Amino acid sequence: MSHAIRLQQLSYRAGRDFALRALDLAVPSGSVYGFLGANGAGKTTTIRLIMGMLASDDGTIDVLGHRIPEHVVSALARIGYVPERVHLYPMLTVEETLRQHSAFYPTWSGRDAARLQHAFGLRADALVGRLSKGEAGKLMMLLALAVRPELLILDEPTDGLDPVVRRDVLAAIIDYVAETRATVFISSHLVHEQERMCDWVGVLDAGRMIAELPMSEFRAGIKRLRVRAARPNVASLPFRVMSRRPVLGQEEEWVVCDWRPDMRAAFDALGDDVLLRDVEDLDLEESFVELLRTSRGEVSLAAPLIAPEAA
Amino acid sequence: MFTAMLRAQWIWSRAMMLFFLGAGFTIPLLSVPLVSRGRHTWMTSANIVDLGGVIGVAIAILIAIAAVAIEIQNWSVDERGGHIYTLSLPIDRRRYASYRLAGSFLLITLVCVAIAAGGIAAGAILDLPSTLRTYPVALALRALLAGWFVHTLAFAFRLGAWDRCGKTLFAALLMVAVALILPAAWPGATTGWLPMVGRLLIAPGGPLGILAGHWSLIDV
């Protein structure tokens, strides 16, 4: 499998409080990769390292086959980038911005730019500095898409946008990917949005990658089990129990990962005291939250069962 | 790319540039009413020459302000966006910086063209001996070199890391402090080297030589 982005053992320190530590990340070519993480997890820093805006302390970065930062210019020519905040020149109009941007990209498509400008309802003579947040977001997306990139790097592209604008922006991305099979690397903490679009997911927490897998596996593997239990030994189970919560009577809710349907049989081995009542799917947001809680040690996997009356 | 960058630079600098172009053209012309009036009243040839010197100094100040203002305006636009847009463009950073510098040089050149035009117009209007009219173009050329120099200095400061700039400024301030404090604290202290350093800096051929010396629109 070829990779559009590959980070190996990437380390970067920013001040005393934040560091990316030995980060490994691989974005398969042609995938839509959701880069999840709480605020401050290091998503934007990772993106800036990928874009060659920051210099890493250690490790390697390869983007579209180009080593970064040595060949960053060649890589950037093939990347469409939407940063988390408006970064454009406020004194230029939309039309002037398009003209300015197009000069740097030999692959710029004036036809696509005109089509998206019309679709997004952006006035050519509007000053960038006077655009609303939604309009500015649309303009940045237009600029990223009109360069016909092989890789789209989107840093919180819909953060703070209203639902209508968000839908427009996401629709533009989906249309582009459907047409070109470009790779999309989309960072966000808006998990529901990622769930609809992404086929790969990577989760970053406090500068560490805590999960990276295909979305289908991520969703299929993390389940909520409703179990009637009396102090079972979770270590002997073939799946990983990420959290346990007492609910009613002797019943507990377990959030587990690495789950497969045939693992129901594992409960038979635990005897009559443990009964699997139900298996529920978790949406991506719930899975994400559980993953973060486990990663941060907020949930002790070895914790003894606390009976509801004792809790 | 350079054309696109220059166009953008012109767009965000044009209001300021119109002011500097207007001032550059007008300052030499100020000599016209003053000299015309002076010829009928109290002004002697020496006074006219002195007036030319004052105009020259005004031009020196104008070009220095223009050079710094263009530099500040040039990069503050990028700084406002945290340089993110610039850094995301597929262009080598050194090339980008040199294009920006070249663009600024062009804008400074425009101001100097206005100064030359104003000086030539003033020389044409005034009924002066030909020996008093030789300086407008030379003054504009000198303003051009001084403008480029000041801009490059400011550009180098901005482009350099802040800690390096800080150290340089600190060293300069320290020298000034030493020059002020040392003689007061120790009356016998030798500080004669400080004025000498200053003279070396501004002497013709020195690093700041272009800014010092005689700026004159009308001279003999």
Per-residue DSSP letters for A141-179? HHHHHHT--SEEEEESTTTT--HHHHHHHHHHHHHHHHH
Pick from A113, A117, A133: nearest CA to A125 = A117
CB of B1 less than 8 A from some CB of A = yes
Is the CB of residue A69 less than 8 Å from the CB of residue A55? yes
- Å between A100 CA and nearest CA of chain B: 5
B15 Rama class: left (phi>0) / alpha (psi -120 to 50) / beta: alpha
Chain B residues with CB-CB distance to A73 below 8 A: 90-92
Which of A45, A49, A53 is best to mutate for the B interface (most B CBs within 10 A)? A53
Task: Please judge whether A53 and B84 are an interchain contact, meaning their C-beta atoms are less than 8 angstroms apart.
Answer: yes
- Å between B106 CA and nearest CA of chain A: 18
**Residue recorded with tokens 């730019």:** A113
Task: Please judge whether B84 and A105 are an interchain contact, meaning their C-beta atoms are less than 8 angstroms apart.
Answer: no
Chain A residues with CB-CB distance to B96 below 8 A: none
Chain B residues with CB-CB distance to A77 below 8 A: 90
CB of B7 less than 8 A from some CB of A = yes
Chain A residues with CB-CB distance to B84 below 8 A: 53, 83, 85, 87
> Kind of pairing, strands A251-257 and A3-14?
unpaired
Residue in chain A closest to B94 (alpha carbons) equals A73
Q: Of all helices (H) and strands (E), which one includes residue A241?
A: strand A240-246
- In this prediction, residue A259 carries a pLDDT of 80
Per-residue pLDDT tens, chain A, 311 aa: give them.
Answer: 688 999 999 999 887 778 888 889 999 998 999 998 888 888 899 999 999 999 889 999 999 999 988 999 999 999 999 998 888 888 899 999 999 999 999 999 999 999 999 988 889 999 998 998 888 888 999 999 999 999 999 998 877 777 888 888 888 888 888 888 899 999 987 777 777 788 888 888 888 888 888 888 777 778 888 888 766 666 667 777 777 777 877 788 888 877 887 887 777 777 666 778 788 888 777 777 777 777 776 554 433 333 333 33
- In this prediction, residue B200 carries a pLDDT of 73
Is the CB of residue A157 less than 8 Å from the CB of residue A169? yes
- SS3 of A5, please? strand
The ipTM (two decimal places) reads 0.80
A-B interface: how many C-beta pairs under 8 angstroms?
64
CA distance B146 to B123: 22
Residue in chain A closest to B81 (alpha carbons) equals A87
Is the CB of residue A277 less than 8 Å from the CB of residue A226? yes
Is the CB of residue A215 less than 8 Å from the CB of residue A200? yes
Chain B residues with CB-CB distance to A90 below 8 A: 77, 80
Of A76, A91, A92, the CB nearest to B90: A76
Give me Rg for the CA atoms of chain A: 23
The pTM for the full model equals: 0.78
Assigned token pair, A276: 């699997």
Of A73, A91, A105, the CB nearest to B92: A73
Is the CB of residue B126 less than 8 Å from the CB of residue B135? no
Task: Please judge whether B88 and A53 are an interchain contact, meaning their C-beta atoms are less than 8 angstroms apart.
Answer: yes
Chain B residues with CB-CB distance to A79 below 8 A: 88
Chain A residues with CB-CB distance to B89 below 8 A: 76, 104
Task: Please judge whether A92 and B88 are an interchain contact, meaning their C-beta atoms are less than 8 angstroms apart.
Answer: no
Task: Please judge whether B80 and A96 are an interchain contact, meaning their C-beta atoms are less than 8 angstroms apart.
Answer: no
Q: Which residues of chain B have pLDDT under 70?
A: 35-49, 127-134, 160-165, 180, 182-194, 204-220
DSSP assigned state of A93: B
- Å between A125 CA and nearest CA of chain B: 13
Of B7, B88, B91, the CB nearest to A81: B88
Pick from B100, B112, B107: nearest CA to B74 = B100
Chain B residues with CB-CB distance to A91 below 8 A: 11-12, 77
Task: Please judge whether B90 and A87 are an interchain contact, meaning their C-beta atoms are less than 8 angstroms apart.
Answer: no
